[in-house]
Amino acid sequence: MRALKFSGILSNDHLENPDFYDWNIVVVRYCDGASFAGDAEGEDLDGTKLFFRGLRIWEAVIDELMGKGMDIAQQALLTGCSAGSLAALLHCDNFRGRFPQEVAVKCLSDAGFFIDVKDLSGERSMRSLINGVVHLQNVREVLPKDCLQNKDPTECFFASELIKSISTPTFILNSDYDSWQIRNVLAPSGSYPQQAWSSCKADIRNCSSTQIDVLHGFKNKLVSEMKVAEDNKNWGLFIDSCFTHCQTPFHITWHSPISPRLGDKTIAETVGDWYFGRRQDVKQIDCEYPCNPTCSSRLPTA
């Protein structure tokens, strides 16, 4: 098997990853299409059998890790980016429950705060996508029971609902101009005439003032849905205004000379302050684009 070189929060270099460089790290490959939440089987139109086993994979992986020594850990952090970030939210309390109460267990969600917003054509394309996943893969088992009492499972799969039921301290890291969501949720192909948004969604610097106003509206919607996290004293926030997606896995965004900064701190420094309790009320929400000079055009986009 080819060796992988890890960077960002996974790096073993203390200069790149000052707080977590010497931790034991496990990377679980994303493989199920539903954030390790599905448990169903069915049949395709051509008769092909389909098996969705994300939840069983999650349980098997954690069981194996506990048997290999994770059960005696004194500190643990469950994290992921994008769909993996949603998995961290879905399984956060379950992960916490695997350890004794005296163990410091927390969760970190990076770029998983997908929102249910209308696209440029007025359709809810993200809701349609999530609805298909939720019902195809039968993810009800991992959804908050209190949410399911009052709302459709599709709605309960969004981060804005998940965070209402998570009791484990959690850190939300997200761009409020998330490049993946702008390209696939707000302005997916077919939601605008001809090439009207193609240049803008490829690079936010190409957006017109009218388009920037639309993006500001997206930002405001995303931030408003984080109110529960903002009000929870044990939670942390780093919501920057950079045009990027997934910031923990990369050296350039996590902790480097050109990393995004809020309150004069990198993401790595802010997450470390929160996890280890070096500061109280670690919550930073950026101003509107293009106010933050640390948002480099070299940051990764999806």
pLDDT at residue 157 is higher than 70:
yes
Per-residue pLDDT at 1: 66
- What contacts 252, CB < 8 A, 6 or more positions away? 258, 259, 296, 298, 299, 300
Q: What is the pLDDT of residues 189-227, one digit of tens each?
A: 999 999 999 999 999 999 999 999 999 999 999 999 999
* 141 pLDDT higher than 80: yes
Per the residue annotation, which of 245, 251, 255, 256 is the catalytic one? 245
If you write DSSP's letter for every residue of 95-116 in order, what string do you get?
HHTTS-TTSEEEEEEES-----
Q: Which two tokens stand for residue 112?
A: 């998983």
CA pseudo-torsion sign 201, 204, 206, 207: positive
- Phi and psi, residue 252, nearest 5°: -65, -35
Q: Identify the weakest region by mean pLDDT among 150-154, 251-255, 296-300.
A: 296-300
Is 245 part of the annotated catalytic residue set? yes
- Residue 149: pLDDT band with limits 50, 70, 90: very high
Q: What is the pTM of this model?
A: 0.96
Give the pLDDT score at 5: 85
How many other C-beta atoms lie within 10 A of the C-beta of residue 104?
A: 14
pLDDT the model gives residue 302? 76
The active-site residue out of 11, 35, 82, 160 is 82
Residue 105: its pLDDT value, please? 98
13-27: pLDDT as tens digits? 999 999 999 999 999
Average pLDDT across the chain, whole number = 96
The C-alpha angle 110, 299, 179, rounded to 5 degrees, equals: 60
Q: How far is residue 92's CA from residue 97's CA, in Å, rounded to a whole number?
A: 9
pLDDT tens string 87-101: 999 999 999 999 999
Q: Give the tokens for residue 123.
A: 């359709």
Position 3 scores a pLDDT of 77
For 225, residues 6+ apart whose C-beta sits below 8 A from its C-beta are 113, 115, 159, 160
Terminal Cα-to-Cα distance of the chain (whole angstroms): 27
Catalytic residue, from 32, 119, 178, 286: name it: 178
103-139 per-position pLDDT tens digit? 999 999 999 999 999 999 999 999 999 999 999 999 9
How is residue 295 written in tokens? 């948002």
Strand segments, DSSP code E, in the chain are 40-43, 49-52, 75-81, 104-110, 170-175, 236-240, 283-285
pLDDT at residue 168 in the model:
98
Task: Give the per-residue pLDDT at 91.
Answer: 98
Reading the block at residue 113, the tokens are 């705060």
Question: Which band of pLDDT confidence, cut at 50, 70 and 90, is reported for residue 45?
Answer: confident
178 carries an active-site annotation: yes
